[in-house]
Amino acid sequence: MEYVDIETKYVVSKELVEIPLGNRIAVYHRLLGGLTLLDADSSEALKAFTLPQTIQQESLEESDSRYHQLLRQLILRQFLIPSTPQKHDAQAASSFLNKQIHVIQLVMANACNFGCKYCFEGIQGKEMSAESEMSKVDESRIIARDSIQINLNDSMYASTTRFEHQFDPKNRAMKPSDAIKYTENALDIAKSQGVNEVMIQFFGGEPMLNWKAIRAVLDRFNRGENDELIINYSIVTNGSLFTDEIAQIFAKYEVATCVSFDSPTSPNRPLKNGDDSTPTVVNGLQHLKKYNNRIAINAALTSSTWHEFDNSIVDFAKKAGASEIGVIVDFDPTFYANFGTENIINKLWSVIEYGRDHGVILTGYWHQIFQVMLGLDVVSHRGFKNCSAKGAQLSIEPNGSVFSCKAGSTLLGKISEGEGLLQSQNYIGHAELRTNNPEYCRGCEIEGFCGGLCLGSLEKKFGEINVVEDSVCDFYRGITKKHIEALQPFDVATLDLGHVDEEAVV
């Protein structure tokens, strides 16, 4: 740790947020995180620096007293800062434009065998039976709809360009050779900015409709051994097209598998022929479980799933061998007005608590705010707050076009442009929001961890992404506070002057 001058005055950072928790307080830096619990004595010691106080550098570096250990931790977290800030200024550190890519989203197929009511895909390609055998499911069966009337009012997308990509017959499935070429290009782009670890995410539509291309990518890139970086894999799938063979291959490459499924009683995820998709999904999950794959169930808490979203999803996950449920909370701002922010938080929280009691964690876009806040300056390491599309992600379509995310409507360019893609004004517009939120967020207690509403929804409503949809802010702040208030001592770093825990300190 580097301190300043021999005798320096320190003061409590203006960015400190304090939340009382019984006989302790939770404290964190609202831009950098470092969530910590303090007992009454530690809290008093911190408060003593409300006005600048001198600390001798020598005692700071050499004393093993509990008090000096505490001070070192408070300074490390920037809860205490020099009263004349220089290099500890968090805002200054975030002013340079970081162009690092950490997530490569490969859109394997713009088609699906399900007809979910709320999916980005909206109207899908030609109907396909979920009973189709895997051997018959390849790109030749991902057939374009004959004629599409572009009606942006009836789509979650905000641009004609995006809509056209969605239904262009030449943009239905990624050829295996293209998947390899595009991934090589994307890895080169990431490496050009010093990135040494990426996540390749197989996405769709239903990506498993294009198993051949997924297999080609896994076989070619493995864990990145030949490409001088670490590659992790994930997939978002409806879970209906797994076989034993595929489950084994996923286990080999450790593909984190997010299976979308709302609730055992939900009618919102029918097959294209209208039949209940549950038996098909359960069958797929059994294959994955057999080979100990890492499975998360993806559920949605939206206007259309409100009545079915309950503890049964936890029971289902447990039975399926999934220890995590990713919950997508409705990105439509009217959801918060119609159902009430408090009601939404309470409904979600009661399922979170039930999950905790049964060994299943509920996560999601909203939960990442809390996760990021737990560490110190996590955003500068992982490259994004809770929305990777803000500069950290390339979403590559079958025809090589690049958007920031499957949910986004702004074309960034072509993957063949290589590093040049990072010079495009559209990419820069996204990357500028990686750490710096719109002006509206200045001073918000979760500014350093919250990227606001999903940018796809912002584009749809406002036609731009450098804006805030304020109707969701109370939900993000409220659910984060619930997580903080549920903390027990030593769940996170706990700095008690009566009992300094050596294990818990960073």
Q: What residue ranges bind ligand SF4 (CB under 6 A)? A: 365, 387-389, 405, 407-408, 437, 440-441, 444, 446-447, 450, 452, 454-456, 468, 473, 476-477
* Buried-state track 71-99, b at ≥16 Cβ within 10 A, e below 16: bbbbbebbbbbbeeeeeeebeeebeeebb
Q: Which is nearer to ligand SF4, 454 or 500 (CB)?
A: 454
Q: Which is nearer to ligand SF4, 314 or 405 (CB)?
A: 405
- Least CB distance to ligand SF4 at residue 186 (A): 16
- Alpha carbon 502 to chain centroid distance? 31
Q: Which is nearer to ligand SF4, 241 or 455 (CB)?
A: 455
Distance CA 239, CA 182 (A): 25
- Least CB distance to ligand SF4 at residue 408 (A): 5
Q: Counting Cβ atoms within 10 Å, is residue 54 exposed (0-12), middle (13-18) or buried (19+)?
A: exposed
- Least CB distance to ligand SF4 at residue 333 (A): 12
3-state secondary structure 30-45: CCCEEEEEEEHHHHHH
- Least CB distance to ligand SF4 at residue 415 (A): 18
Distance CA 271, CA 278 (A): 9
- Least CB distance to ligand SF4 at residue 135 (A): 32
Q: Which is nearer to ligand SF4, 176 or 456 (CB)?
A: 456
- Least CB distance to ligand SF4 at residue 384 (A): 8
Distance CA 284, CA 346 (A): 32
Neighbours of 105 (CB within 10 A): 25
- The structure tokens listed for 462 are 């406002």
Neighbours of 22 (CB within 10 A): 9
Q: Which is nearer to ligand SF4, 82 or 456 (CB)?
A: 456
Q: Which is nearer to ligand SF4, 208 or 433 (CB)?
A: 433
Distance CA 493, CA 108 (A): 42
- Least CB distance to ligand SF4 at residue 331 (A): 7
- The structure tokens listed for 207 are 């990506």
- The structure tokens listed for 180 are 């390899």
Q: Which is nearer to ligand SF4, 255 or 369 (CB)?
A: 369
